[in-house]
Amino acid sequence: MRAYIAIVDRCNRWIGRLVMYGIFVMMAILLWSSFSKVFSVPSLWTLEMAQFAMVSYYILGGPYSIQLGSNVRMDLLYGEWSPRKKAWWDAFTIFFLLFYLGVLLYGGLSSLAYSLGHFSGGFWGFFGEIVGGFVTGGPAGAAEPMGFIERSSTAWRPVIWPIKLIMCVGIFLMLLQCVSEFFKDLLRIRGEAV
């Protein structure tokens, strides 16, 4: 458990610290948007790109936020409990969060498969077709299952799959971090230092 905690915490800490600077990327995009509206022709891509940057910042920073314990809690009763009682409660309630994130990841993977042009069978059917196509026909065979690539309905019309991929990666990292927090709670319940 301690090795898992160390690896996942280190990975999510590194990603979280890196993504923390994404706020400056979003600020630069919005500054360019303001500049272009005042001094030249407004850019079509700025608002949607700022939204993509914010989603990346938020979803990839989520696991680090869970690790730091900076997520929102209802401290009506929880704040007065002993650390061991808090660990028991957290170990119980983490299963609700794991279930929620699992459903979210399943939907995200299906949506990612849809945005890559596969309309039936979900992510696993799509993945199986790509691997099967690669085995039988090489790179051209792997590209064959991909059909219509989903695009945004705005005037800029960017492809949607990169942001959906980022969301799936972020949700998966949150799942890993929740398991790490569960292991930490188990160690606290046993009276060991974390």
User: Are the CB atoms for 56 and 163 separated by under 8 Å?
Assistant: yes
| Band (124; pLDDT cuts 50, 70, 90) | low
As a whole number, mean pLDDT of residues 110-138 equals 71
Is the pLDDT at 120 greater than 60? The verdict is no
As a whole number, mean pLDDT of residues 78-104 equals 93
Measure Cα distances from 20 to 63, 64, 103, 149, 180 in Å. Answer: 12, 10, 27, 30, 21
Alpha-carbon span 89 to 190, nearest angstrom:
14
Would you kindly state where each structural domain of the chain is located, as residue ranges?
2-72+81-189
User: Are the CB atoms for 178 and 101 separated by under 8 Å?
Assistant: yes
As a whole number, mean pLDDT of residues 114-129 equals 67
Alpha-carbon span 108 to 122, nearest angstrom:
10
pTM of the entire predicted model: 0.83
Alpha-carbon span 189 to 153, nearest angstrom:
51
User: Are the CB atoms for 62 and 170 separated by under 8 Å?
Assistant: yes
User: Are the CB atoms for 20 and 70 separated by under 8 Å?
Assistant: no
Q: Which residue has the higher pLDDT, 19 or 132?
A: 19
Average pLDDT in the chain: 88
- b/e burial code for range 113-131 (CB count within 10 A of at least 16 → b): bbbbebeeebbeebeebbe
Q: What is the pLDDT of residues 145-163, one digit of tens each?
A: 566 678 888 888 899 999 9
Angle separating helix axes 46-68 and 2-19, nearest 10 degrees:
150
Residue 21 CB neighbours (<10 A): 9
